[in-house]
Amino acid sequence: MSRPAVVVIGVGNPSRGDDALGPLLLDRIEAAGFGQVVIRRDFQLQLEHALDLCGADLVLFVDAMTGEGDDGVRFGEIGPKPNLGALSHALAPEVVLDVYQRIESRSPPPAFVLAMRGRSFELGDGLSELADSALGVGWQLCEELLRVPSLEDWREMTRRIGHAANRRGDYS
């Protein structure tokens, strides 16, 4: 049995302090050399990212988040949701899934969000202590998820962690 193809899409701006969390986690994933993992990186999600999901068995969106509370990491499964606001070049992961569904005329692959908490997002800021800690937790989670990726294991991880990632409001 072959391993599933996993697409990891990380977003963030390395020049904006804790917004670098997505790209920094992608760097660690690339260095680890997980097989069957396709990495995509950008400053923000766009309509075109729906095409990156073609052929994927699992999708992981990685980003920074703002706000207070919990251990600094949220992980959970998401589904497609239409963009009900004005069109924008910056989209929520759920909207990318909806675009995929519309252009492919089928359900998108199972998708999850891993969001790591930060607090400093200004141009020129370095990584905060809070974000550095969240990056460590996010990396441990990714190692476990990507070692032998399976939908059942990812869903079990969501239950174990107990954080919903389907609320767009506090992603950076």
Domain ranges, ordered by start, for the chain: 6-170
The pLDDT tens digits of the residues spanning 52-66 come to 999 999 999 999 998
Question: Smallest Cα–Cα separation from 10: which of 107, 126, 111, 115?
Answer: 115
What value does the mean pLDDT take over residues 27-38?
Answer: 93
The CATH code that applies to domain 6-170 is 3.40.50.1450
Considering the chain, what percentage of its residues have pLDDT values greater than 70? 85
pLDDT surpasses 70 at 86: no
pLDDT surpasses 50 at 167: no
Residue 1 CA to residue 57 CA, distance in Å, equals 14
pLDDT at 70: 62
Per the prediction, the chain carries an average pLDDT of 87
The pLDDT tens digits of the residues spanning 100-154 come to 999 999 999 999 999 999 988 989 889 999 999 999 999 999 999 999 899 999 9
pLDDT at 151: 94
Give the phi and the psi of residue 117 in degrees, each rounded to 5.
-75, 135
* DSSP assignment letter at 51: G
